Structure 1
Amino acid sequence: MDQPPHARTEAFLVDDAPLLRFHKRLALHAGGGPFLDGYVLSIIGIAMVQITPQWGLNSAQQGLIAASATIGIFLGSFLGGRLTDRFGRWRLYTFDLIAVVVFSVAQFWVDGFWWLFLLRVLIGVAIGADYPVAASLLTEFTPKKYRGPFIGSLTVMWFLGAASAYVVGDLVSGVGDQGWRWVLASAAVPAALTVLARTGTPESPRWLAGKGRVAEASAIITKIFGPHATLEIESGSSAGAIGPLWKSGYLGRIVFVTTFWTASVVPLFAVYAFGPRILAGLGLDGRVANMGSAVVTILLLVSCVIALTAINKLGRRTLLIHSFAWSGLTLLLLGLFPGSPVPVILCLFATYAIFTGGAQVLQLVYPNELFPTEIRGSAVGLASSLSRVGGAVGTYMVPIALDRWGIGPTMLGAAAIALIGLAVSAAWAPETRGKSLADSARI
């Protein structure tokens, strides 16, 4: 059982607080946004199997629909980061996912390419806005001993959402030739459940203290951690401002985070948006390809769980470098030997899944630890937005690359991007293991 926080009689920092049931609940419902991100991005791969022949979509249109949610996340992450630093974490914490419910249901009645594209962009905007809000809130409540695994768990929720999408999509799409409508609308269910779970979540005391609302911050800290808990505040910047992000130290951190984040998501998003088609190009087809995508996703989920157990033991830097090195190698082998027997192809995909987990879980850990509270949301939102530019371009290019060059060169391109991530990580990745938020954000 958790130690009752009020039982402690000595003063302690929130960064050194014990792990409470509050933290576990917060991590669970904060993961609702990443779950929906994985679900929405992956479910389109199932739906497109029916939509493409019904609407006669060409490769460019397929790429635009697949990339639409990612485009929305680009816009929403930046906007959500600015708003959450200026107006607080709590205000956006439920409103953004209410929008996901509404737009997901609206997809059921969509009757044309551009309407579907627009709705999925709007869904992406709402999900993107949730990233800096939920991640900042979780970061600012969680003790440093558990911060890495807890923030990294948001990525686990992404893969759980992706795996759920493949299973639900495969089952629901079989209801008829209009099954894709139910497939796309199904995202409203986890979105609504997350909204209900988030009701009553308190505002971040770090954000409140940074705005001068010290009494409110102290009341929340006392209620959760007890009367002897205190808060160490990072050196301040203008809340919601972009200017401080371009300071010498922070600019380097933005470049590092954005580059490694992009290098980790581009191959991954390509695999998810067109997983069944890529596996079909490698010799699998039909339900075997759909289930193969689900198996790979489950392995990715396991990989992220393994990475969470190693993040404090190996450190952030070592975990990131090894993740890029070995996942990039497997993509290279897939590109060089696309005609290998099916068991070999599946083994290589599984190996990629196992090794990419480290880079995936660090996507949110690094930006939340490297920037102070006053600009944390803006930094996470900006890095997320910029990385999604690469993700959107990569997703858009997949069907075009498959049509023009085939599966081998497409996988070689993915390998090249992963190896760029390796080079950037080896050159710039810092180590933030065991540091308080004030120390890790200091430049």
Structure 2
Amino acid sequence: MRRVLAPLLDLSRAERFIVLAFWVVGVAQGFAQSHAANTLPFTRVTFGLTEGEMAGVMALTRIGAFSAILVSFVSDRSGRRNLFVATLAIMVAAAGATGWVVDAEQFTIAQGIMRAASTAAGVLGVVMLAELLPPGSRAIGMGIYAAAASLGAGLSVLLLPLAEAGPEEWRILFQYALIGLIAIPVALRWIPEPEKPSGPRRRYAIWRPLASPYAAHFWPLAASSLLFAAFTTTQVTFASERLINDLGYAASVIVLISLTGGTLGGLGYFIGGHLADTRGRRIVTMVGFAIAAVGGVGLYWTETLPLLWVSVFLAAFGAFAAAPATSAHRNELFPTQIRASAVAWLAGFTVTGTIGGLWVGNRAIDDIGLPMTVLLLGAGMLIAIAVTAALPETKAHPEFAEETPETA
């Protein structure tokens, strides 16, 4: 573990506090954005919806996340930090407000605002880490940020038994999300505004990352982001539904499986981040995608607790290992002037994938069932792996991101 975390030991005191601050922010983010999926078996019953109809609601909550593209475009021109803090505040407030909604429509609106702010904050967060940390520590830094979000999600799972106390007790989990407001002063105190490159800066149109000469990098990333999101969002969103309402396990069992299998799988963040910094971003992403696909499909095609635990572990480990590698890769494939815009556009394709996956669920789950729907979406992971293989490796080229294709 010391070898895995060695890049952090080379950071300055200020850079370590940056990583610590992003850890606090990540916990708040993960906690706030996980309640909708974790409480789905209870909110669905409260609002009187079928599994397919609930998939439609969850898809609608993702639409607002496209606003992250505009937010990131603004950050490329006017700065990242203030926008980052503002989106964090909106995210926490909307998550807390969900605890007081009275119908499915209000739930959709509150969670839509939360998702929009959470997506924007996540995009700005990984871009800021890429710009605030040295190249050799970027992936592990992003891994810690993502691991913190996983911890926040785990805390949400830990509180899940509270939702079993009564038909409306799921609301308290959303209300607890307001504790995340503590991340605001932490971010203001220890996360600085990244320095802008010296010299004249050329301003780019918001759609610049999509066109030549950047298109060769952008579109493979867009395809893999969409397909990965379509699969993982659906299998994660309906995991509690599968275990509680389909297989009949108690919420306490879900906590045991999620916290042990998911937490152990969380080692993927550190191992994946270390390997991405030492072996390469591309190969770690591809292997992570493959492991996540096996685990995610297995969760819906097994029924015994040992196999369910293994599936949760593999799904978590693979996705977590791919996260820091993917984040570092996509940030390093674009120059500073368009980096946030490029990452935001990619986040837009991720959102499209989440909506697409849930839309497929809305159309297919009630007809062919959850297992077949997840298997169908899992096939797309093979394409995600293939298009990732077509991208260049950036690990050995820390200057890659500052070279534009016109000057490289």
Report the TM-score when normalising by structure 2. Answer: 0.87
Decide which of 7, 16, 19 is 1:27's aligned counterpart.
Answer: 19
Decide which of 176, 179, 186 is 2:169's aligned counterpart.
Answer: 179
Gaps of 5+ in 2: 1-8
* Structure 2 counterpart of 1:6: none
The 5-angstrom pairing of residues 392-403 of structure 1 reads: 392-398=355-361, 400-403=363-366
Q: How many Å apart are 1:94 and its aligned residue? A: 1.4
What are the Cα deviations for residues 296-321 of structure 1, in whole angstroms up to 9, with x where unaligned? Answer: 43233222222122112221122122
Q: What is the RMSD computed on CA atoms of the aligned residues?
A: 2.7
* Structure 2 counterpart of 1:8: none
* Structure 2 counterpart of 1:195: 184
Q: Is the 8 A contact 1:42 1:272 kept in 2?
A: no
> Cα gap change, 1:25/1:65 in structure 2, threshold over 3 Å: closer, same or farther?
farther
- Is 2:396 the counterpart of 1:431? no
* Structure 1 counterpart of 2:270: 305
The 5-angstrom pairing of residues 14-413 of structure 1 reads: 18-31=10-23, 34-73=26-65, 75-168=66-159, 170-190=160-180, 192-200=181-189, 201-206=191-196, 209=198, 236-238=201-203, 241-280=205-244, 283=247, 285-287=249-251, 288-331=253-296, 338=301, 341-398=304-361, 400-413=363-376
1:198 counterpart letter in structure 2:
A
Q: Is the 8 A contact 2:289 2:381 kept in 1?
A: yes
**Largest Rg, 1 or 2:** 1
432-441 vs 361-370, which moves further: 432-441
2:283 counterpart letter in structure 1:
T
Partners of 1:88 and 1:258 in 2: how far apart?
25
Q: Give aligned pairs, total.
A: 395
2:116 counterpart letter in structure 1:
V
Q: Is the 8 A contact 2:336 2:401 kept in 1?
A: no
Q: How many Å apart are 1:202 and its aligned residue? A: 2.6
Partners of 1:371 and 1:327 in 2: how far apart?
26
What are the Cα deviations for residues 146-194 of structure 1, in whole angstroms up to 9, with x where unaligned? Answer: 12211233322332222122112x143245332111112222212x111
Q: How many Å apart are 1:254 and its aligned residue? A: 1.3
Identity of aligned residues (%): 21
Q: How many Å apart are 1:437 and its aligned residue? A: 4.2
Partners of 2:299 and 2:94 in 1: how far apart?
37
> Cα gap change, 1:72/1:437 in structure 2, threshold over 3 Å: closer, same or farther?
farther
What are the Cα deviations for residues 198-255 of structure 1, in whole angstroms up to 9, with x where unaligned? Answer: 1143321126x46x6xxxxxxxxxxxxxxxxxxxxxxx5415x224313423112111
Partners of 2:19 and 2:129 in 1: how far apart?
6
SS at match of 1:111: coil
Partners of 1:57 and 1:383 in 2: how far apart?
32
Q: How many Å apart are 1:415 and its aligned residue? A: 2.2
What are the Cα deviations for residues 98-143 of structure 1, in whole angstroms up to 9, with x where unaligned? Answer: 2123222322321111111011111111112212322222211211
Partners of 1:393 and 1:439 in 2: how far apart?
31
Partners of 2:297 and 2:176 in 1: how far apart?
35
> Cα gap change, 1:377/1:37 in structure 2, threshold over 3 Å: closer, same or farther?
same
Partners of 1:128 and 1:60 in 2: how far apart?
24
Gaps of 5+ in 1: 1-16, 213-235
Report the TM-score when normalising by structure 1. Answer: 0.80
> Cα gap change, 1:41/1:91 in structure 2, threshold over 3 Å: closer, same or farther?
closer
What are the Cα deviations for residues 402-421 of structure 1, in whole angstroms up to 9, with x where unaligned? Answer: 33212431232232021111
Q: Is the 8 A contact 1:370 1:441 kept in 2?
A: no
Partners of 1:294 and 1:395 in 2: how far apart?
25
Partners of 1:306 and 1:424 in 2: how far apart?
23
Q: Is the 8 A contact 2:269 2:321 kept in 1?
A: yes
2:352 counterpart letter in structure 1:
V
273-282 vs 263-272, which moves further: 273-282
What are the Cα deviations for residues 360-417 of structure 1, in whole angstroms up to 9, with x where unaligned? Answer: 2233212211111111111111101111111122134336533321243123223202
Q: Is the 8 A contact 1:331 1:414 kept in 2?
A: no
Partners of 1:385 and 1:406 in 2: how far apart?
28
Q: How many Å apart are 1:438 and its aligned residue? A: 5.0
SS at match of 2:397: coil
Partners of 1:36 and 1:438 in 2: how far apart?
32
> Cα gap change, 1:137/1:341 in structure 2, threshold over 3 Å: closer, same or farther?
closer
Partners of 1:282 and 1:175 in 2: how far apart?
20
Q: How many Å apart are 1:341 and its aligned residue? A: 3.9
Q: Is the 8 A contact 1:372 1:437 kept in 2?
A: no
Q: Is the 8 A contact 1:131 1:380 kept in 2?
A: no
Q: Is the 8 A contact 1:166 1:294 kept in 2?
A: yes
* Structure 1 counterpart of 2:4: none
